[in-house]
């Protein structure tokens, strides 16, 4: 939030610089530590889907931070595991373990407590809208993380996020 308000850079410029730098770093680590990975043809579709989804989610997240209250919006991102209970089953056929479900339920309980406590956010006119944008980003990320996992499965743990970050940086550049 500070970087957006105090700098002359737009949200997209900040996302571009951060994702491009991460991409270069991760691809260098992949190349020098692991070597050129064996890439399955399913990798590219998974990387493209998650890159596009993250390219949509990141500007929305920055907008949520801009209009809402940072700690509250950040807390809404913790809804990602709740959505993952459903999206990981739909996309990957995975079922959570019992302790995982308990952990997610505790997260929901904690978020409920956070949102029901009487907040004195009179200086934040779009407090609720910022929180809902945070929840929407969590929903997008719960879908994207399934494709992240698929991309990593069909390449390597550094190459996949390096390419995904490159896709994000190209999307924000465009």
Tell me the per-residue pLDDT of 103-154, one tens digit each, with 9 for 90 and over: 888 988 887 777 667 555 556 676 778 888 999 999 999 999 999 999 999 9
- Provide the 10 A C-beta neighbour count for residue 5: 7
Q: Residue 33: CB partners within 8 Å, gap ≥ 6?
A: 158
What does the pLDDT read at residue 24?
97
Average pLDDT, the chain: 87
CA–CA dist 58, 80 (Å, integer): 14
Highest mean pLDDT among 8-12, 40-44, 73-77 belongs to 40-44
Is residue 164 scored above 90 in pLDDT?
A: yes
Report the 3 state secondary structure along the chain: CHHHHHCCCCHHHHHHHHHHHHHHHHHHHHHHHHCCCCCCCHHHHHHHHHHHHHHHHHHHHHHHHHHCCHHHHHHHHHHHHHHHHHHHHHHHCCCCCHHHHHHHHHHHHHHHHHHHCCCCCCCCCCHHHHHHHHHHHHHHHHHHHHHHHHHHHCCCCCHHHHHHHHHHHHHHHC
Per-residue pLDDT at 12: 85
Averaged pLDDT, 16-44: 93
Per-residue pLDDT at 7 exceeds 80: no
Looking at residue 165, what is its pLDDT? Answer: 96
Asked if the model's pLDDT at residue 51 lies above 70, the reply is yes
């Amino acid at each position: 939030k500070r970087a957006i308000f105090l700098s002359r850079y737009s949200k997209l410029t900040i996302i571009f610089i951060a994702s491009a730098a991460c991409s270069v770093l991760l691809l260098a680590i992949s190349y020098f530590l692991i070597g050129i990975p064996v890439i399955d043809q399913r990798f590219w579709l998974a990387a493209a889907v998650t890159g596009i989804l993250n390219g949509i989610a990141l500007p929305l997240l920055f907008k949520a931070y801009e209009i809402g209250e940072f700690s509250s919006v950040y807390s809404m991102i913790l809804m990602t595991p709740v959505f993952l209970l459903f999206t990981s089953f739909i996309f990957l056929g995975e079922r959570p373990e019992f302790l995982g479900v308990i952990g997610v339920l505790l997260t929901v309980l904690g978020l409920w407590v956070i949102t029901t406590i009487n907040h004195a956010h009179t200086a934040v006119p779009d407090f609720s809208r910022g929180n809902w944008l945070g929840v929407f980003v969590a929903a997008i990320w719960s879908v994207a993380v399934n494709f992240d996992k698929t991309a990593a499965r069909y390449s390597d743990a550094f190459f996949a996020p390096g390419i995904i970050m490159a896709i994000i940086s190209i999307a924000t550049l465009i």
